[in-house]
């Protein structure tokens, strides 16, 4: 049994967005734990709050529209939400990193790949206390990082600008940046969704090997339960701003409990980047006025009276398996 402080612990996180029409009550008490060297998945249909969750961890939610209205986010026992703003860039350059869906948006168009990777490597080494490293050594390390992601001809790629690369190559650059030596936790937000299917598979396998070799923890966000089944040990299922079920990945496929998870599993292999609604009747609620009680009740065939009034807490089904559904209150 693992007893150490988790690497990341998101506790009862609430996030709202102020828009012209009013206030969107998006995250509604999100709880996620990631331990050292763990590979964890986060799955849910489009608009359920996956990106909002990781942007909260990185403290990059759009300001002033977004507001964290409750909760805590502990990184190695320290609450990121109470850290001084000047501490955050250091954390992101040091131990915490992220890969997003759109690599072009993550890379700086006016610097070459070599300049960007070199800069990140320098900061990362400073974080490790390494000083006096030469430009040549940095360049050689940057080329090594690219090579490890399966990038062909890394020395040449270092001299190019992001716009000169294909989507798959750009994402390999982002993976190289994200997997520098000091990184302990990688937040990967649908890192291959915009790439074609054959490249997706290659990149995800390479990412998985690298994470495994380095002992990095990963939170892998995906629409695809298939990807999460292959690449993670534990999984969180999210619906309309709440975690509705969590357990070991294998167990989720063998014994899903929550009605939403069961419906999601039925949609394989119909899952697409456009969401899952074709497999589940109805759609995700309007966050301006979300349903009272269980947010899934308007779409749930098992809904009872209590479901329309009270939000279900997480009920334990043993073995690290928790379902937030009144059917499991015991
Ligand atoms: N910048 C924003 N301004 C206003 N509302 C926003 C903003 N970003 C997110 N939201 C609201 O939060 C909800 C959740 O968005 P989020 O991007 O976290 O979903 P997601 O699960 O990552 O979806 P996808 O799978 O499509 O990436 C959206 O449906 C939207 O209502
Ligand atoms: S709490 Fe009720 S409405 Fe929600 S998933 Fe469970 S049975 Fe369905
Ligand atoms: Mg998203």
What string of DSSP letters covers 236-252? EEEETTEEEEEEEHHHH
Query: Band of the pLDDT at 271, cuts 50, 70, 90?
Result: very low
pLDDT digits (tens, 9 = 90+) for 31-70: 999 999 999 999 998 999 999 999 999 999 999 999 999 9
Is the minimum distance from the CB of 312 to ligand 2 under 6 angstroms? yes
54 occurs within a structural domain:
yes
149 occurs within a structural domain:
no
DSSP SS3 for 160: coil
Neighbours of 229 (CB within 10 A): 18
Query: Band of the pLDDT at 203, cuts 50, 70, 90?
Result: confident
CA distance 80 to 69: 14
272 occurs within a structural domain:
yes
Query: How many domains are there within the chain?
Result: 1
CA distance 69 to 92: 23
Full residue range of the structural domain in which residue 43 is found: 8-95+182-328
120 occurs within a structural domain:
no
Percent of the chain whose pLDDT exceeds 90: 64
Is the minimum distance from the CB of 47 to ligand 1 under 6 angstroms? yes
For residue 77, the CA-to-ligand 2 centroid distance in Å is 33
What mean pLDDT, rounded, does the chain reach? 90
281 occurs within a structural domain:
yes
Q: How many CA atoms lie within 13 A of 313 on its CB side?
A: 5
Which ligand does the CA of 299 lie closest to?
A: 2
Query: Band of the pLDDT at 304, cuts 50, 70, 90?
Result: very high
109 occurs within a structural domain:
no
Contact 36, 184 (CB under 8 A): yes
Residue 207 vs residues 41, 129, 220, 285, 318: alpha-carbon distances, Å: 14, 27, 11, 34, 31
For residue 236, the CA-to-ligand 3 centroid distance in Å is 15
122 occurs within a structural domain:
no
Here the CATH number for the domain that contains residue 70 is 3.40.50.300
Is the minimum distance from the CB of 296 to ligand 2 under 6 angstroms? yes
Measured in degrees and rounded to the nearest 5, phi and psi for residue 75 equal -110, 115
DSSP SS3 for 288: coil
Measured in degrees and rounded to the nearest 5, phi and psi for residue 71 equal 105, 180
Atom of ligand 1 lying closest to residue 275 CA: 25
Is the minimum distance from the CB of 236 to ligand 1 under 6 angstroms? no
pLDDT digits (tens, 9 = 90+) for 69-99: 999 999 999 999 999 988 888 888 778 999 9
pLDDT digits (tens, 9 = 90+) for 9-25: 999 999 999 999 999 99
118 occurs within a structural domain:
no
């Amino acid at each position: 049994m693992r007893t150490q402080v988790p690497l990341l612990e998101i506790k009862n996180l609430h996030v709202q967005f102020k828009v012209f029409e009013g206030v969107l009550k998006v995250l509604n008490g999100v709880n996620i734990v990631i331990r050292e060297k763990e590979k964890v998945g986060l799955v849910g249909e489009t608009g359920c709050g996956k990106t909002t969750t990781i942007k909260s961890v990185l403290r990059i939610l759009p300001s002033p529209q977004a507001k964290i209205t409750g909760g805590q986010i502990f990184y190695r026992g320290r609450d990121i939400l109470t850290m001084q703003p000047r501490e955050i860039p250091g954390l992101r350059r040091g131990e915490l990193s992220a890969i997003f869906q759109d690599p072009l948006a993550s890379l700086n168009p006016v610097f070459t790949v070599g300049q960007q990777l070199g800069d990140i490597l320098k900061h990362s080494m400073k974080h490790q206390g390494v000083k006096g490293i030469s430009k040549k050594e940095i360049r050689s390390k940057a080329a090594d990082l690219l090579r490890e992601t399966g990038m062909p001809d890394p020395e040449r790629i270092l001299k190019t600008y992001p716009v000169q690369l294909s989507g798959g190559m750009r994402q390999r650059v982002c993976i190289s940046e994200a997997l520098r030596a000091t990184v302990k936790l990688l937040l990967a937000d649908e890192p291959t969704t915009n790439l074609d299917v054959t490249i997706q598979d290659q990149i995800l396998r390479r990412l998985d090997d690298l994470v495994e070799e380095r002992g990095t923890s990963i939170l892998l966000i995906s629409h695809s339960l298939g990807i999460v089944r292959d690449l993670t040990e534990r999984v969180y299922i999210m619906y309309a701003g709440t975690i509705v079920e969590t357990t070991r990945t294998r167990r989720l496929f063998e014994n899903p409990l929550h009605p939403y998870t069961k419906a999601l599993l039925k949609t394989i292999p119909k899952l697409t980047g456009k969401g899952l609604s074709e497999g589940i009747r109805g759609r995700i609620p309007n966050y301006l006025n979300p349903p009272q009680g269980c947010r899934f009740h308007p779409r749930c065939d098992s809904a009872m009276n209590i479901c329309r009034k009270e939000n279900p807490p997480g009920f334990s089904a043993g073995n690290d398996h928790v379902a937030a559904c009144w059917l499991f209150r015991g």
